[in-house]
Chains A and B, each alone.
Chain A
């Protein structure tokens, strides 16, 4: 079983739609959680960190459920520029403290 699992998509949505991505992680030692965005053939860039209380950044809302080991990202009022692959990322605070990536969910926002 992969340590971080995501639905690969693609999600094809019209402009203005609301779309949600889910991610599960298997290692209960994971302590930090992030969503990264990756445009085609580019490097990943941090979209937002995910906090236990949930957090919002403009049109983007991230939620964490530690009991279910589940992370979500909600995008409201989708824009064409939101088209990208969204990577769910976890990090342990002990042992090997590198980022572990999910395989990504591809979003295509259509006019």
Chain B
């Protein structure tokens, strides 16, 4: 059972480069989320999607865009990477009624 799959697991970017982080879930969940985790900061919500076709900003959306391509997939795009976006990125999915969120293994992104 794959659960939530994120790609890539590691990435190094130069300042100004763009990239897309991919996330897919096979649990038929309606809600999907992107978080970033920095030392001492806990997980902070970047964007979330309550259902297919809808997306909403979270706590730290600046510098990011998202696409809810279908019910399974929710991608996060960095249009022009900055060193401040060096972080670990986690995708998660949940069924609102049950509320437990399942996380992918994370993407460790370094922007130099």
Q: Tell me which residues across on chain A come within 8 A of B105, comparing CB atoms.
A: 42-43
A99: contacting residue among B41, B56, B101, CB under 8 A: B101
**Which one, A55-63, A70-78, A90-98, is touching chain B?**
A90-98
Interface of B toward A, CB cutoff 8 Å: 31, 33, 35, 40-45, 48, 50, 56, 58, 90, 92, 94, 96, 99-101, 103-106
User: In the complex, A42 Cα to B48 Cα: how many Å?
Assistant: 21
Pair B99/A32 contact, Cβ less than 8 Å: yes
Q: Tell me which residues across on chain A come within 8 A of B99, comparing CB atoms.
A: 32, 34, 49, 91, 99
Pair B103/A44 contact, Cβ less than 8 Å: yes
9 pairs, CB–CB < 8 Å, chain A vs chain B: A41-B106, A87-B42, A97-B31, A98-B45, A98-B48, A98-B58, A99-B94, A100-B45, A104-B42
Distance of A9 from chain B, by nearest CB (Å) = 11
Contact with B along A45-86 (1 / 0, CB 8 A): 110010000000000000000000000000000000000000
User: In the complex, A16 Cα to B56 Cα: how many Å?
Assistant: 45
Q: Tell me which residues across on chain A come within 8 A of B31, comparing CB atoms.
A: 97-98
Interface size, A (range): 20 to 34
A98: contacting residue among B33, B41, B103, CB under 8 A: B33
Pair B42/A43 contact, Cβ less than 8 Å: no
Pair A97/B50 contact, Cβ less than 8 Å: yes
Does A25 make an interface contact (CB < 8 A)? Answer: no
Does A103 make an interface contact (CB < 8 A)? Answer: yes
CB under 8 Å from chain B, chain A span 8-35: 8, 32, 34
Distance of B54 from chain A, by nearest CB (Å) = 12
Distance of A84 from chain B, by nearest CB (Å) = 14
- 7 closest Cβ pairs, A-B complex: A103-B42, A43-B103, A101-B43, A101-B42, A98-B48, A46-B100, A98-B45
Assuming A41-B106, A44-B103, A100-B45, what are 15 further A-B pairs, CB within 8 angstroms? A43-B90, A43-B105, A44-B43, A44-B90, A46-B100, A49-B99, A97-B50, A98-B45, A98-B58, A99-B33, A99-B45, A99-B94, A103-B40, A103-B41, A103-B42
